[in-house]
Structure 1
Amino acid sequence: MAGADVCPEQTTTATSRTAEIFKSFKEFEETKSRLEEGTCTKYNGIHKEADFGKENIQPSTEKRMYFHLTGVPFDGSPFQLVGTKVYECHLGKDRNAAAKDKYHAQRQAQSLEDHAFQARRCSVQTTKKMNCPVQFTVYHIIKFPDDKFKIDKDTDARRRKASKDLKKAIDQKPSSVQATVQFHTCFPTLTEHKNHPTVGEVAELREGVDERVKGRIRTLALNGVKDIREMRRHLDAYVNDDLFKEQDLPPTTRRRYNPTDKDIRNNMDKSKDRIKNSKEDQCNVQVMCNRLQSYIITVDVKCKN
């Protein structure tokens, strides 16, 4: 088909959002982190295409040429889409609702059996999710900014001709084609968030824990810190002396830098799980015994199966 190499018209734009361009995925992540920190928000990835974020992706004559997409405005230069990744507010849709309902049904059935002695807690809210509709997409593209492939008017005929000429050049001599990697997105505004506050103490208490703080907790746990109160003292020193040295300290209500006891305990447990060979204690004991046998030849170490 004549127009198979060219994307059809796609010019939908997000209301009140500003298109932003990044040279690398790392640069995008740094900007996203600053946005989350400044607005007391958190965005989680929910879907990623296979090639998104991969390095050393080369232009291909087999891929379609685009001139604009939702989130990638028209500037006359053709580009190929490597992949996309979708993010949503961390207080969005509960995507594990079915699994949770199944688990609660099993627990309820077990509690009705004879000799059932299960600890039960009354939970007022079973999930933090608030069905916030905010989502945004990141587009990983390879752009071809060479003037000889640019079009000044967005018409089917000009897109088709530029696409054909560009693919011919890639096929004959790929090194002669100028190409740059870009990441395009439109970050959402605070007014788009629904069903939860975005300012004030409640919003601060709903924040996710900062990745740097999580990393500090796991490092300290691996180095022998086991008590939550001791861990909190280390975290206070880390936030005061490293993250906010010679700066105004964040309020204590900001969960991002002042995690709850449960946050600390969960991250300490994750650090321990990472160094385990198995979730089964018997398997871990067997592995440790095998290691001891290799290190201490003279000691007969036996493990009861």
Structure 2
Amino acid sequence: MERPDPNIWCFEGILLEPGMRLRMCPQTPHWVVTVKPSICRGGHFYCFSTLGETVIGLYRTWALGGVITNTNHDPSRLLLIRIMYLWHRHFVLEEKVTGYLSNHIPNLECFDDILVVFTLAIAMELLNVVDYQTYRVETNLSDHNSELQAEPGLPSLLLLQYVDARAKSPQLLHFFFSNFEFIDDSDVAIDGPKEIYYPFFAQHAAALFSMKKKGYNQGIRGARDCTMLKFDHELQLAIAGSTYFKEAMVQLKQEPDTFEWSDGKYTIRRLSTPIPCSADWWLPLLSIT
């Protein structure tokens, strides 16, 4: 690899002896140098405190893979789906998790935790968009991306898993918005879906678009056969089911370059009596295929 620019990167050398294990935050560029031929094993460690970064890492791998990031990693999406299933089981089905699994359960009265929940919920909506199989044309043997429709495309079983995950995601959001409310500095409850979740979704979609566009313009191909035209088509399918999403996307034409929420924090208050969230907000999401 080319020598990284020390004016941009900070370097930290760590000596690992046989049997030692190093855990790094998601999206940490790293490489291993050995004094003789060796086998070094690596893996992905998922924990709640860095789950948001893990999701963004998945986006970056898909959009910019092959440069300084990993290439596509199929198990990553499936592991994120499992975490969504775990939360759905714990909160929606009320089958409470115990033991070590409880470390993966968010505190729904903590704003930072809720942003992580929203981040994963958004990822469930974008599963098709950030899967390389949505774009890959197996018959394309050239060095250029193909504008043809994906061939063979997403496997049927995987597509069903994505559909199920997208169904569980709004069910979890429905549970949250039916049992909790956001309170601003004036101690006034705000419209959580319209004021926070939908704009946050739009920000992630727009930031993903910006990341892909900048990389593509610099010749970073990322997912094979994922042209800007095909990517934009898939992204539009993901946001087409909701008027609120479309309205929020219009407000974010400036293509933000960050996935972080920057509009301040809110207090979260549990409702004394659950108030069912308006079904109209969630039905469009369930219809996305």
TM-score band, normalised by shorter chain: under 0.3
TM-score, normalised to structure 2's length?
A: 0.22
- Structure with the bigger percentage of helix: 2
TM-score, normalised to structure 1's length?
A: 0.21
Bigger Rg over Cα: 1
User: Whose RCO is larger (CA < 8 A, sep 6+)?
Assistant: 2
